[in-house]
Amino acid sequence: MSKMKNTIDPAVNYLLPLAKKAGVETVWDRFAVMKPQCGFGELGVCCRICWKGPCRIDPFGNGPQRGVCGADAHTIVARNLARMMAAGAASHSDHGRHIALTLLEVGEGHAPAYRIKDEQKLRNIAEKLNLAPAGKDIRQIAKEVAQASLDDYSRQKRSIPCNWAKVTMTAERVEKLVDLEVMPHNIDAVIAEIMARTHVGCDADAANILLGGLKGALADYTGMCLSTELSDVLFGTPEPVVTQANLGVLKEDAVNIAVHGHNPLLSEIICDVALKMNEEAKKAGAKDGINIVGICCTGNEVMMRRGIPLATNYLSQEMAIVTGAVDAMVVDVQCIMPALTSVAECFHTEVITTMPVNKITGATHIEFREESAVESARKIVEVAIEAFKRRDKRKVNIPDYKQTAIAGFSAEAILAALSKLDAKDPLKPLIDNIVNGNIQGIALFAGCNNPKAIQDNNFITIAKELAKNNVLMLATGCGAGTFAKTGLMTQEATEAYAGESLKAVLTAIGKAAGLNGPLPLVLHMGSCVDNSRAVNVAVAIANKLGVDLDKLPLVASAPEFMSEKAVAIGTWAVTLGIPTHIGIVPQIMGSPVVAEFLTEKAKELLGGYFIVETDPEQAAAKLVAAIKERRKGLGI
List, as residue ranges, the binding site. 38, 46-47, 50, 55, 69, 262, 297, 335, 448, 478, 528
According to the binding rule CB under 6 A, does residue 566 interact with ligand CUV?
yes
Determine which residue in the list 45, 204, 292, 297 makes contact with ligand CUV, applying CB under 6 A.
Answer: 297
According to the binding rule CB under 6 A, does residue 43 interact with ligand SF4?
no
Q: Which helix (H) or strand (E) segment is 125 a member of?
A: helix 119-128
Cβ of residue 84: shortest distance to ligand SF4, in angstroms?
Answer: 16
What's the rounded Cα separation, in Å, for the pair 467 and 440?
A: 10
Question: What does 527 interact with, of ligand CUV, ligand SF4, none (CB < 5 to 8 A by kind)?
Answer: ligand CUV
Q: In terms of Cα–Cα distance, which of 418, 409, 392 is closest to 445?
A: 409
- Whose Cβ is closer to ligand SF4: residue 53's or residue 426's? 53
- Whose Cβ is closer to ligand CUV: residue 336's or residue 541's? 336
Stretch that binds ligand CUV, among 61-69, 281-289, 430-438, 559-567 (CB under 6 A): 559-567
Determine which residue in the list 14, 19, 44, 67 makes contact with ligand SF4, applying CB under 6 A.
Answer: 67
Stretch that binds ligand SF4, among 52-60, 93-101, 295-303, 547-555 (CB under 6 A): 52-60
Q: In terms of Cα–Cα distance, which of 304, 239, 594, 308 is closest to 476?
A: 304
- Segments of 209-314 assigned E as strands: 241-245, 255-261, 290-295, 310-312
What's the rounded Cα separation, in Å, for the pair 541 and 553?
A: 11
Question: What does 67 interact with, of ligand CUV, ligand SF4, none (CB < 5 to 8 A by kind)?
Answer: ligand SF4
Binding mask 76-105 for ligand SF4 (x = CB under 6 A): x-----------------------------
Stretch that binds ligand CUV, among 1-9, 172-180, 508-516, 558-566 (CB under 6 A): 558-566
Question: What does 50 interact with, of ligand CUV, ligand SF4, none (CB < 5 to 8 A by kind)?
Answer: ligand SF4
CA 440 to each of CA 49, 424, 473, 508: distance values in angstroms, whole numbers, following the listed order: 46, 24, 11, 16
What's the rounded Cα separation, in Å, for the pair 505 and 607?
A: 29
Q: Which residues are annotated as a binding site for [Ni-4Fe-4S] cluster?
A: 262, 297, 335, 448, 478, 528
Determine which residue in the list 15, 47, 381, 605 makes contact with ligand SF4, applying CB under 6 A.
Answer: 47
CB-neighbour burial class of residue 338 (10 A; exposed 0-12, middle 13-18, buried 19+) = exposed
The DSSP bridge partners found for residue 405 are: 243
According to the binding rule CB under 6 A, does residue 447 interact with ligand CUV?
yes
- Whose Cβ is closer to ligand SF4: residue 76's or residue 463's? 76
According to the binding rule CB under 6 A, does residue 590 interact with ligand SF4?
no
Question: What does 52 interact with, of ligand SF4, ligand CUV, none (CB < 5 to 8 A by kind)?
Answer: ligand SF4
What's the rounded Cα separation, in Å, for the pair 542 and 538?
A: 6
Question: What does 47 interact with, of ligand SF4, ligand CUV, none (CB < 5 to 8 A by kind)?
Answer: ligand SF4
Alpha-helical (H) ranges within 22-69 are 27-34, 39-43
Q: In terms of Cα–Cα distance, which of 258, 252, 251, 391 is closest to 317?
A: 258
When computed from its CA atoms, the radius of gyration of the chain, rounded to whole angstroms, is 24
Stretch that binds ligand SF4, among 33-41, 69-77, 336-344, 348-356 (CB under 6 A): 69-77
Edge to edge, the sheet with strand 609-612 lists 522-526, 471-476, 441-445, 554-558, 579-582, 609-612
Please, are residues 426 and 418 in contact by the beta-carbon 8 Å criterion? yes
Question: What does 69 interact with, of ligand SF4, ligand CUV, none (CB < 5 to 8 A by kind)?
Answer: ligand SF4
- Whose Cβ is closer to ligand CUV: residue 141's or residue 566's? 566
Q: In terms of Cα–Cα distance, which of 322, 301, 321 is closest to 310?
A: 301
What's the rounded Cα separation, in Å, for the pair 89 and 195?
A: 12
Question: What does 68 interact with, of ligand SF4, ligand CUV, none (CB < 5 to 8 A by kind)?
Answer: ligand SF4
- Whose Cβ is closer to ligand CUV: residue 224's or residue 434's? 224
- Whose Cβ is closer to ligand CUV: residue 310's or residue 417's? 310
What's the rounded Cα separation, in Å, for the pair 454 and 28?
A: 10
Please, are residues 527 and 500 in contact by the beta-carbon 8 Å criterion? no
According to the binding rule CB under 6 A, does residue 129 interact with ligand CUV?
no
Determine which residue in the list 4, 32, 68, 585 makes contact with ligand SF4, applying CB under 6 A.
Answer: 68
According to the binding rule CB under 6 A, does residue 90 interact with ligand CUV?
no
- Whose Cβ is closer to ligand CUV: residue 470's or residue 486's? 486
Q: Which residues are annotated as a binding site for [4Fe-4S] cluster?
A: 38, 46-47, 50, 55, 69
What's the rounded Cα separation, in Å, for the pair 535 and 168?
A: 8
What's the rounded Cα separation, in Å, for the pair 179 and 282?
A: 62
According to the binding rule CB under 6 A, does residue 53 interact with ligand SF4?
yes
CA 103 to each of CA 107, 143, 145, 296, 301: distance values in angstroms, whole numbers, following the listed order: 6, 7, 8, 24, 17
According to the binding rule CB under 6 A, does residue 55 interact with ligand SF4?
yes
Determine which residue in the list 18, 22, 69, 435 makes contact with ligand SF4, applying CB under 6 A.
Answer: 69
Stretch that binds ligand SF4, among 53-61, 91-99, 375-383, 430-438 (CB under 6 A): 53-61
Please, are residues 426 and 485 in contact by the beta-carbon 8 Å criterion? no
CA 278 to each of CA 30, 31, 149, 291, 592: distance values in angstroms, whole numbers, following the listed order: 38, 40, 38, 9, 59
Q: Give residue 361's identity as a one-letter amino acid code.
A: T
According to the binding rule CB under 6 A, does residue 52 interact with ligand SF4?
yes
Residues 150-209 that bind ligand SF4 (CB under 6 A): 200
Contact footprint for ligand SF4 (CB under 6 A): 47-50, 52-55, 67-69, 71, 76, 200
